[in-house]
A and B are shown apart, each in its own frame.
Chain A
Amino acid sequence: MKLTRRDLLVWSAGATAGLIVTPVPWKLLDDVSIWTQNWKWIPQPTRGPVEVKQSFCTLCPKGCGMRVRMAAGWPVGVSGVSSNPINRGALCPLGFGAHQLNWHPQRLRAVRHRATTSSWGEARAAFAKASGEGPIVIVDGQPGRAASSVFQAFVQKRGGSYRVVPGAENQALAPYENWSGVPASTLGYDLENAQTMVSFGAPLLDGWVTPGRFTRLWAERAAGMAEPQLRLIQVESPLSRTAARAWRWVPVPDGAEAALAAGLARVLLDERLVPAHGPVPSLTLADAAAQTGLGINAIQDLARTIVSRPPVVAIANDQNPAIAALNVVLGAVGVRGGIVTRSRHTLSAQSVQAVRAAPSHVSYVSTGADIISARAVLIDSTVPWDFTPPTDAEVFHFAAWDGGSSKVDWLLPAPGFLEELTDVPTAPASAIDTYAVAPALAKAPPEGQGAAQFLVGIDPHLIPAEKIIHTRCEGLFRERVGTVHGQEATPVTTLASVQQLEERLWEGAVWVNDPPRSGDFRCELSEWPKTAGPVPPVNRLPTWLAPVLPPLASKLYQESGLRESPEGENGRKA
């Protein structure tokens, strides 16, 4: 048989037509599509066993419970834990991208001495030498942790001071400490029982206290209701995120908050709208109206509105004593729905140390002159990056990310997000004591070292943080009070051993103390405070220790225009 050109064409056409009705070309097309999605330079997610663990966010002192999805040992996703009574399943927007932070380009990977790369040995030798020559100061951003106890033990042995950088919530509670003697670190807001909140610039819906604690409350009792069960009145100059969603926004010029507080107090006392007999402000109502630009009638109406739905609490964003004095006039101190002290008499001193900032008054950085004359200052990685110590001493700054500070002599790489075992004491301004443990879930780079570990390396006689956490768990177990909130709530009294308590805490449960008793905290004020506090800097981001944001957050904020310049061009906070 002779093969002609025509036969070849017929055969080819037939083969082509036949091929189309087979799966081959479609499979080939599909595979090509998939291949072109998987070039070797396209990053691919980690493959490996997936598991979900529970822990706590340690990027700020608020200690939100989080569920961490792990793949092949790396955190690949973060979400809130709805059963957690602290944050009730919510996280701040930065927390959702926190697992990216350990890979941020500004992650510190080596010890740096001024502009040069150095070593841990040299840093340890320099700190040991400096601490031998004169007093040292250790600055902590999250007091109450086991690491904080290591710091305190070190300064007690070597001579020096332990100082704390207060968060905005604790700063606002400082006037009550001055007037009552009760440490601000043991005070909190009983938000859950308040009916009216007057916020003087505090970003209640934007990172104030633990995310979820107030936002969930507000969403359930206030949002979208013409006559809400919870009235949120925001006194603030700009129409902030909180002011935009508040039941009422009262715009007053920056710095006029104290005048408005005085004006309100005067109306409350003159019209006998409150039973309490507080000090009468020296400022007249007319002066308050002039300073706030609101008018006398508006201030009177506001005062009547505020007290029409008790309990009422005024919330400041700084140490403004006039707003604290307004709470005294309102009778909002030491009562349900107001400023309360946590149940300080139900725990032993050792357990108090575990769940609070300190058993006695915390020495804040701003109140200490010793930092100026110190020989060396050690700043823990929990201190916000923008803190600059007022000192000429040699500064040793632990940080996981390089914020670009030029005033630091030693920059020491600290463990990043979930890379170090730590405990989580009570969140600032909480009305109830809590305690949790955040185990190290992520693989830490070998060059990182925490400040407590660094000090134990210098003085091996110090008790390491891990052992302190164990001791604290033993103490809480012996107290036999409170409940452990994990998948289910378990009273401590039903636990058989301290090992059971530790297991629960290591699995992401949180210990919660019994509710506080009201009436055990009183605040007497003989005269109205004369000076108002400084106008706080406008901070539109939640308290955030890292000088950088997760890349996703910075990208999305930039592209949505939701935040006003959260970062500069170099990726650092503006």
Chain B
Amino acid sequence: MSTRYGMVIDLDRCTGCGACMVACAAENNVPAIPQATARTGLTPMLVRKVSNGVEGGARREAFIPIMCMHCEHETPCVSVCPQQAVEVDKATGIVMQMPQRCLGCRYCMTACPYHARYFNWWDPSWPAGMEKSLNPGVAVRMRGVVEKCNMCHARLHSAEEKAAAAGKREIDPADYVPACVEACPTAAIRFGDLADQHDPVFREAHSADTFRLLSLLGTEPKIYYQSKEAWVRALADPDSGAHLEVEHG
């Protein structure tokens, strides 16, 4: 069976430091547009703060990194794209966005139940000289296209090139680690092959404390979350009646 890359994010370990966000943006040449706001900016990885809604000493807070969930089944963005600019890679399970094909209609943004897609409202620009600090492995996307997390596909390409140069068909898993996974100071984000029963991520994805966001939609997202705290798990359960308080700037 082909590889199915996915992540398990341990919310009990996430301190909301934002290292994953910065590392993701630096890896993928996301421009720091001054006029961008929380609604119009590009945040392929976005850490949200949630609480149990209680005030005082009983208040609890947690941080939830949100990115493209890489839905496996009836992927909403794929089915609505008129340009075939989005597809689920059969070999890896990664939901790929091809900016060259994108015409910017934003149907995919409307269809995405996780609000994990972002539109490029401005031409990418950096302060004078800062383009020298851009990652040469990732092309800069222009204004008018949609973008999102692609699990640092450039790193997968590098790993494949390295394997090919060594005469191997399979990559070394250590060579392909997305930037957010590498950056997390508490190792809260784990990455691996969900189709491999021997992969630790497979086992974690099927543990009792693990859940997925909006799982009732049946899109089989490949991003799993994990928490031992019941109020955090209840956030993903619409029948629990849990109060979700999302803070956003």
Q: Which parts of A197-248 form the interface with B (CB within 8 Å)?
A: 205-206, 211-212, 215-216, 218-219, 223-226, 239, 241-242, 244-245
Chain B contacts of A104 at CB under 8 A? 127, 130
Which residues of A504-545 are within 8 A (CB) of B? none
Q: List 17 A-B contacts (CB under 8 A).
A: A33-B101, A43-B124, A43-B126, A91-B183, A96-B23, A211-B185, A215-B185, A215-B186, A223-B13, A223-B188, A224-B228, A239-B59, A551-B127, A551-B130, A553-B22, A562-B18, A562-B249
| Chief secondary structure at chain B's binding surface | loop
**Nearest Cβ in chain B — how far from A447, in angstroms?**
14
Contacts of B244 in A (CB 8 A): none
Residues of chain B lying within 8 A (CB to CB) of residue A245: 12, 15
Is the CB–CB distance between B142 and A39 below 8 Å? yes
Please pick, from B19, B129, B140, the residue contacting A93 in the complex, using a CB distance under 8 A: B19
How far does the Cβ of A407 sit from chain B's closest Cβ, in whole Å? 27
Residues of A within 8 A of B34 (CB): 555
Q: CB-CB contacts of A451-488 with B at 8 A, as 1s and 0s?
A: 00000000000000000000000000000000000000
Q: How far is the CB of A275 from chain B (nearest CB, A)?
A: 32
Cβ of A191 to closest chain B Cβ, rounded Å: 15
Inter-chain CA distance A303–B55, complex, in Å, is 25
The residue that A47 contacts in the complex, of B36, B49, B136, with Cβ under 8 A, is B136
A44 sits at the interface (CB 8 A): yes
Chain A, range 39-97, C-beta contacts under 8 Å to B: 39, 41-48, 50, 69, 71-72, 74-80, 90-94, 96-97
Query: What distance in Å separates the Cβ of A355 from its nearest Cβ neighbour in chain B?
Result: 25
C-alpha gap A93/B47 in the complex (Å): 13
**Using Cβ atoms and an 8 Å threshold, which residues of chain B touch A91?**
19, 183, 185
Enumerate chain B residues within 8 angstroms of A94, measured Cβ to Cβ: 22
Bound Cα distance from A99 to B248, whole angstroms: 28
B183/A76 in contact, CB under 8 A: no
| Of the residues B13, B47, B142, contact of A224 by C-beta under 8 Å | B13
* A91 to B20 CA separation, bound complex (whole angstroms): 10
Q: B100 near A79 (CB under 8 angstroms)?
A: no
A37 contacts B12, CB within 8 Å? no
| Chain B contacts for A159, CB-based, 8 A | none
Give residues of chain B (124-160) contacting chain A, Cβ–Cβ below 8 Å: 124-142
Indicate if B27 sits at the interface (CB-CB under 8 A).
yes
B120 to chain A, nearest CB (A): 11
- Chain B contact residues, CB within 8 Å of chain A: 10, 12-13, 15-19, 21-23, 25-27, 29-30, 32-34, 36-38, 41, 43, 46-49, 56-57, 59-63, 99-101, 123-142, 179, 182-183, 185-188, 226-228, 247-249
**Does A33 contact B249, Cβ atoms closer than 8 Å?**
no
Contact across chains for A92 and B19 when beta carbons are under 8 A apart: yes
Which listed residue, B21, B22, B127, B228, touches A105 by the CB 8 Å rule? B127
CB distance from A401 to the nearest CB of B (A): 12
Residue of B nearest to A69 (CB): B135
With both chains docked as a complex, state the minimum distance between the C-beta of B189 and any C-beta of chain A, in angstroms.
11
Contact B124 A74 (CB under 8 A): no
Interchain residue pairs A-B with the least CB separation, the first 5? A561-B249, A224-B12, A103-B130, A551-B32, A90-B185
Chain A: interface residue total (CB-CB under 8 A): 71
With both beta carbons as reference points, the residue of chain B lying nearest to A204 in the complex is identified as B15
Closest CB-CB distance, A559 to chain B, in whole Å?
A: 4
A33: chain B residues at CB < 8 Å are 100-101
> For residue B56, which residues in chain A have a CB less than 8 angstroms away from its CB?
251
Specify which chain B residues have a CB less than 8 angstroms from the CB of A96 in the assembled complex. Answer: 19, 22-23, 26, 183
Is A244 in contact with B32, judged by CB distance below 8 angstroms? no
Once the chains bind, are B18 and A555 in contact (CB under 8 Å)? no
Asked if A550 is at the interface (CB within 8 A of a chain B CB), the reply is: yes
Q: Considering only CB atoms, which chain B residue lies closest to A571 in the complex?
A: B34
A560 close to B48 (CB less than 8 A): yes
Q: Is A127 an interface residue (CB 8 A)?
A: no
Q: How far is the CB of B15 from chain A (nearest CB, A)?
A: 5
What residue of chain A has the Cβ atom nearest to residue B33's Cβ? A555
Q: Which residues of A contact B188 (CB under 8 A)?
A: 219, 223
Tell me if A554 counts as interface (CB < 8 A to partner B).
yes
Nearest residue in B to A47 (C-beta to C-beta)?
A: B136
Q: Which residues of A contact B138 (CB under 8 A)?
A: 45
Contact B38 A558 (CB under 8 A): yes
A554 and chain B: residue at smallest CB distance: B32
A224 and B10 form a contact (CB under 8 A):
yes
Q: Given the complex of chains A and B, what is the CA–CA distance between A212 and B184 in angstroms? A: 9
In the assembled complex, the Cα of A105 lies from the Cα of B99 at a distance in Å of 29
Assembled-state Cα–Cα distance A33/B104 (Å): 13
Question: Is A30 at the interface (CB under 8 A from chain B)?
Answer: yes
B100 and A37 contact, CB distance less than 8 A: yes
A251 touches B57 (CB 8 A): yes
Are B15 and A205 within 8 A (Cβ)?
yes
Contacts of B134 in A (CB 8 A): 43-46, 76
The reply on A291 being an interface residue by CB < 8 A is no
B186: nearest residue on chain A (CB-CB)?
A: A219
For A37, list chain B residues within 8 Å (CB): 99-100, 139-142
* A99 contact set on B, CB distance < 8 A: 26, 133
Q: Are A561 and B49 in contact (CB under 8 A)?
A: yes
Is there contact, CB below 8 Å, between A100 and B130?
Answer: yes
Contacts of A46 in B (CB 8 A): 131-132, 134, 136
CB closest residue in chain A, given B56 = A251
Chain A residues with Cβ below 8 Å from B21 are: 93, 556, 560, 562
Q: Is A34 an interface residue (CB 8 A)?
A: yes
Contact between B22 and A562 (Cβ–Cβ < 8 Å)? no
Q: Roughly how many angstroms separate A90 CA and B189 CA in the complex, as a whole number?
A: 13
Residue from A71, A211, A552 having most chain B Cβ neighbours under 10 A: A552
Once the chains bind, are A560 and B13 in contact (CB under 8 Å)? no
Residue of B nearest to A34 (CB): B100
The residues of A that contact B23 with a CB separation of less than 8 Å are: 79, 96
Q: Is the CB of A30 within 8 A of B100?
A: yes
Name the one of B30, B99, B179, B186 contacting A223, with C-beta atoms under 8 angstroms.
B186
